Amino acid sequence: MTLFEEITEHFSDPIFDRHSRLGDATVILSRDALPGVIRFLREEKRFDFLMDLTICDGGMEKSPRFEAVYHLFAFERKERLRLKVPVEEFDPHLPTLTGEYRNADWLEREAWDMFGVRFDGHPDLRRLLMYPGFEGHPLRKDYPKDRRQPRIGPGSTPATAFEREPALPERLGKALTAAGVADPGEEIMYLNMGPSHPAMHGVVRVMAALKGETITASDVEIGYMHRCFEKEAETHSYMGVIPYTDRLNYVSPLINNVGYVMAVEKLFGVTTPERCRYIRVILSEISRIVDHLTCIGAFAMELGAFTVFLYLMKARESLYELIGEVTGARLTTSYTRIGGLRGDLPPGFDGECRAAFRKIRKDISECDRLLTRNRIFYDRMRGVGVISAADAISFGFTGPCLRASGVSHDVRKSSPYLIYDRLDFEVPLGTEGDNYDRYLVRIAEMEQSMRIVEQALADLPDGPVNLDDRRMTLPPKEEVYNSIEGLMNHFKLIMDGHGIRPPAGEAYFPVEGGNGELGFYVVSDGSGIPARVRVRAPCFHMISALSYLIRGQMIADVVPIFGTLNMIAGELDR
């Protein structure tokens, strides 16, 4: 019996529709059926991960206007399932899933914040990305993209901007009660860390209630870097979104580029030429090394190991130079195109890459010698920030942080894309799920990434890097300048109101980002502008567990725990 049939058998009437397009199984069901179906799927069918939850706004004309989209993943069977629930415009509300999946907490708060869809039974439904005084729900189609609500401007003071924000004791009251510390006679010290704090990477705020030096309850506030990626994507052409994806995860922008364009390619139902796929893999893996180098370097520095930081930044610099040569930019690469790449690899890339790897291997072993058996480092990392496999799954952890807890889920293995199924590499695992394991997994992964690049370089095939498909790739310049068809084709792909137009539909495409499963969910209505682009940011789910991870730890442990989660503000806040 297929999954569809089983669901239909269990829950007959409220299932509206089901289909399987572009390889994505989708079930459309009613709001009332949702909790039951979810429980059934999670308990019986082992859909352990709530990968993503988002809302799509179809605009005022559409009825019902909103659609909630849940992406589930059963990692043992490597199966994905999408649930869609229509929600009408007047008084939109949905049942909460916080009892089933722990990351639903933040996902639902985000959905409420951005779309104004209420979640009945949510323990603490308040804004997540915008600030308390913000009016309206910005991702609704009728909220103008540039309607600003400045908190301060010339002449106003920060004090007035903070007026509407609750004070720390008030804010932490709920969390304290939940933690069982409601007695007002107890000595509690409230401490605010961030957002402008060296170890908080500038944009995350941790508010903690301390007893002595131990954190009894905390609240994590994010959204200080919300740059409206999703709103920008709804107002730009498909091609125009690529530069925005760079800035989502600016430590490994190439993986983001690849993830986004592959989602669009999935909508078109095309696959890119061999050479392009190899190059995408090579650059993604180089990007992953950059990501891990930066993460380890930064948290080592925050723990006082400044030398390690300098060594690893030196290593990163040689990769930046390499990336710069290929893409023309060190950081904001925008290298991929829908249906291909911006260009081929430069001549001599092979040798330079190998030379860079030689240097990096040296730097990593240097860092290994400085840190791995260092007593102070060990004591601050081992047994701190422990998360069990079950909790990690429930919080939606993916990537190195999940693997440190011993769960072998890697998108490159579980749903292989590009050429990963042909490559020989291992997925390093941890056992304890603490800071130290997260560090070790990253160190081991860098070596695996280098192995992948070396294999891919060794059998890099010749051939074009761009698909010869006039719906998405620009014609060669000789054609543009010498023939009217070429010229028209070029304009059709570039001009406003035309552009690349994938067929109407939707696609979710996951790739293994530097920090976990990075998924792009793209909805096309057949026009030149995406109807919705949703990014499943890996670190969003991990930071949603931060409060849980630091509870009961010392205040000084916040720094390594936060550091090993590898928060990237661009994708966390979108």
Partner 1 sequence: MGIEQLIGRKALTTRLDAAVGWARKYSLFQYPFATACCSMEYMSVACAHYDIDRFGAGLPRWSPRQADLLMVVGTVSHKLAPILRQVYDQMCNPKWVFSFGVCATSGGFYNNYATVQGIDTILPVDIYVAGCPPRPEAVLDGLIKLQEKIRNEKQQY
Asked if 225 and 250 touch (Cβ cutoff 8 Å), the reply is: no
Ordered alpha helix ranges (H), 334-426: 349-371, 375-381, 389-394, 399-403, 411-414
Question: Residue 419: which of partner 1, ligand SF4, none does it interact with, CB under 5 to 8 A by kind?
Answer: none
Is 309 a binding residue for partner 1 by CB under 8 A? The answer is yes
Other beta carbons within 10 angstroms of residue 136's beta carbon come to: 13
How near is the Cβ of 317 to ligand SF4 at its closest, in Å? 17
Crossing angle of helices 558-565/435-458, nearest 10°?
Answer: 20
How near is the Cβ of 541 to partner 1 at its closest, in Å? 20
**Single residue of 93, 118, 127, 247 touching ligand SF4 by CB under 6 A:** 247
How near is the Cβ of 161 to partner 1 at its closest, in Å? 4
Residue owning tokens 């891990």? 292
How near is the Cβ of 134 to partner 1 at its closest, in Å? 8
Site string for partner 1, 210-239 (x = CB under 8 A): -------------xxxxxx--xx-------
How near is the Cβ of 509 to ligand SF4 at its closest, in Å? 24
Of 141 and 403, CB closest to partner 1: 141
Question: Residue 202: which of partner 1, ligand SF4, none does it interact with, CB under 5 to 8 A by kind?
Answer: partner 1
Residue owning tokens 């010229």? 487
Sign of CA dihedral 491, 493, 494, 496: positive
Tokens representing 387 are: 């998360």
Of 230, 472, 459, 515, the closest CA to residue 341 belongs to 472
**Single residue of 138, 428, 433, 538 touching partner 1 by CB under 8 A:** 138
Torsion angle defined by CA atoms of residues 541, 546, 551 and 557, in that order, rounded to the nearest 10 degrees: 140
**Single residue of 20, 156, 332, 408 touching ligand SF4 by CB under 6 A:** 332
Within the chain, what is the greatest distance between any pair of CA atoms?
Answer: 84
Site string for ligand SF4, 507-526 (x = CB under 6 A): --------------------
Asked if 533 and 548 touch (Cβ cutoff 8 Å), the reply is: no
Contacts with partner 1 in 56-85 (CB under 8 A)? none
**Single residue of 20, 149, 177, 388 touching partner 1 by CB under 8 A:** 149
CA-derived radius of gyration, the chain: 24
**Single residue of 152, 189, 355, 504 touching partner 1 by CB under 8 A:** 152
Is 144 a binding residue for partner 1 by CB under 8 A? The answer is yes
Distance (Å) of CA 120 to CA 33, 49, 84:
14, 21, 17
Of 33 and 128, CB closest to partner 1: 128
Contacts with partner 1 in 177-196 (CB under 8 A)? 195-196
Residue owning tokens 């040296």? 362
* Separation CA 563–CA 380 (nearest Å): 12
> In DSSP terms, which residues pair with 509 in a beta bridge?
520
* Separation CA 260–CA 238 (nearest Å): 10
- Under the rule (CB under 6 A), what is the footprint of ligand SF4? 247, 332
**Interaction site with partner 1 (CB under 8 A):** 130-131, 138, 143-154, 157-158, 161-162, 195-198, 201-203, 223-228, 231-232, 243-244, 246-247, 250-251, 294, 298, 309-310, 313-314, 316-317, 320, 330-332, 569-570
